[in-house]
């Protein structure tokens, strides 16, 4: 049981390049999330998904796209990388119980630099 895995761990992109950050969870969680964490700041929600085929925008979705074709995978796509997208990206998953008490399980993060 690996939990939430993210690849790559580190990446340097040139301005205008594209890339996909991969996220996989093996806990059969319905909910998955993508966050970015800028230096000295909290996490901001980019996109989230409540199940396969369903995605929705979070607080900072501009410049990103997601898809959720399976329960396990939730890739995040950057189409035209900009320096403002330099950040640490976290993927997370959770399963909402009736009591709403389940916290999110986080992946180890991807450190992305755009130059």
Partner 1 sequence: AQKITQTQPGMFVQEKEAVTLDCTYDTSDQSYGLFWYKQPSSGEMIFLIYQGSYDEQNATEGRYSLNFQKARKSANLVISASQLGDSAMYFCAMRRTGNQFYFGTGTSLTVIP
Q: Which residues bind partner 1 (CB under 8 A)?
A: 31, 33, 35, 40-45, 48, 50, 56, 58-59, 88, 90, 92, 96, 99-106, 108-109
Cα separation of 93 and 84, whole Å?
25
How far apart CA 107 and CA 5 sit, in angstroms, is: 5
| CB closer to partner 1, 28 vs 100 | 100
Q: Which of 2, 35, 1, 6 is nearest to 107 (CA)?
A: 6
State the Cα–Cα distance between residues 75 and 66, nearest whole angstrom.
6
Q: What is the DSSP letter of 52?
A: T
In angstroms, what is the minimal distance from the CB of 33 to partner 1?
7
User: In the complex with partner 1, which residue's Cβ is closer, 10 or 69?
Assistant: 10
Query: Among residues 85 and 107, whose Cβ is nearest to partner 1?
Result: 107
State the nearest-atom distance from the C-beta of 31 to partner 1, in Å.
6
């Amino acid at each position: 049981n690996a939990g939430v895995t993210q690849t790559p761990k580190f990446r340097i992109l040139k301005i205008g390049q594209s890339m996909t950050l991969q996220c996989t969870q093996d806990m059969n969680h319905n909910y998955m999330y993508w966050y970015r964490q800028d230096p000295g700041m909290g996490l901001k929600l980019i996109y989230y998904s409540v199940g396969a085929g369903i995605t929705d925008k979070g607080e900072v979705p501009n410049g990103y796209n997601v898809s959720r074709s399976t329960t396990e995978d939730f890739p995040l796509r950057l189409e035209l990388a900009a320096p403002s997208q330099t950040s640490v990206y976290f993927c997370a998953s959770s399963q909402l119980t009736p009591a709403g008490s389940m916290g999110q399980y986080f992946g180890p993060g991807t450190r992305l630099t755009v130059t």
